[in-house]
Amino acid sequence: MFDKKTILLDLYSRLYKAFSPRHWWPGDSPFEVAVGAILTQNTAWRNVKKAVSNLKAKGLLSPHALYHLPVEDLEMVIRPAGYYNIKATRLKHFVHFLFQESAGDLARLLSEDVHTLRTKLLSINGIGPETADSILLYAGNKPTFVVDAYTVRILFRHNLIPEETPYDEVQSLFMDCLEPDAPMFNEYHALLVHVGNTFCLKTNPKCTECPARGWNNDE
């Protein structure tokens, strides 16, 4: 019986060989990545891209621009992302927090240690663990593992966790077994997202074609 570290490293190796580097998260700046992390809640990435493109086209993709933009106007700009009323409010909460903590300077905010910053991000209305960790990892290059529905589905289907395992427990599985390596965590999460999108579908999964087939001696 292999230990969990060996199992997780084997999965990473299989997916990396199958898919190569994913170059995720797309964004021209850490602030764009943070905005995208908030907008991607409960929607497909293609819709987020449309909303981010709208912000760019109107010159609004900066902390100062969003801070001064009325929330009603922001709602219309990010409408393609869905749940635009809620997400506009969450973006405003994030930007107000950014000005309160670091005068609107995201780089200064991200210079804080990961544990302190994570606690602060989770205090913002509308930012949960997955969004906070996405900002930390992809915008801040902090060594924290992002857990999403794809991660849980893949690990559950390969008998590594129960289906209803809480977020923090799934995250701890990676954080406790692997070295705190931000680039690897970045790549690992991106690979899991890709396999979840392509093979490990919620319904009608393509198991026979999946590069994770046979991993963890599940066959």
Separation CA 61–CA 58 (nearest Å): 8
* pLDDT tens sequence for the chain (219 residues): 458 899 999 999 999 999 999 999 989 999 999 999 999 999 999 999 999 999 999 999 999 999 999 999 999 999 999 999 999 999 999 999 999 999 999 999 999 999 999 999 999 999 999 999 999 999 999 999 999 999 999 999 999 999 899 999 999 999 999 999 999 999 999 999 999 999 999 999 999 999 998 877 654
73 close to 42: Cβ distance less than 8 angstroms: no
Amino acid identity at 177: C
62 and 31 in contact (C-beta within 8 Å)?
Answer: yes
Domains of the chain, each with CATH number or no CATH: 4-23+145-217 (1.10.1670.10), 30-139 (1.10.340.30)
The pLDDT of residue 163: 87
At a CB cut-off of 8 Å and minimum separation 6, what does 204 contact?
none
C-alpha dist (Å) from residue 17 to 74, 86, 154, 163:
41, 39, 17, 27
What pLDDT score does 202 carry? Answer: 93
